Amino acid sequence: MINQADQETDRLFLFFLSHQVILSTIFHLSDQFDLFQDSISKSSSMQDPKSLTSVALFHQTFKHPVLPEPTIPSETRCNLRLSLLSEELKELEEAIENKDLVEIADALCDLQYVLSGAILEFGLGEKFKALFDEVQRSNMSKACKTEAEAKATVKHYEDKGTPCFYEKEGDLFLVFREGDHKTLKSVNYSPADLKGILEK
User: CB–CB of 52/116 below 8 Å?
Assistant: yes
- pLDDT tens across 109-142, in order? 999 999 999 999 999 999 999 999 999 999 999 9
pLDDT of residue 200: 86
Phi, psi for residue 190 in degrees, rounded to 5: -135, 130
How does the average pLDDT of the chain come out, rounded?
87
Question: What are the extents of the domains in the chain?
Answer: 50-125, 141-199
Least confident of 9-13, 104-108, 163-167: 9-13
Better pLDDT: 4 or 35: 4
- Among the CATH numbers 1.10.10.1100, 1.10.620.20, 1.10.340.30, 1.10.3420.10, which is that of 50-125? 1.10.3420.10
d(CA 34, CA 12): 35
pLDDT of residue 34: 39
Better pLDDT: 55 or 31: 55
pLDDT of residue 4: 57
pLDDT over 60 at 9, yes or no: no
Using CA atoms, how far residue 63 sits from 55, 90, 131, 197, in Å, is 12, 27, 26, 28
**Nearest-5° Cα angle at 113, 142 to 77:** 100
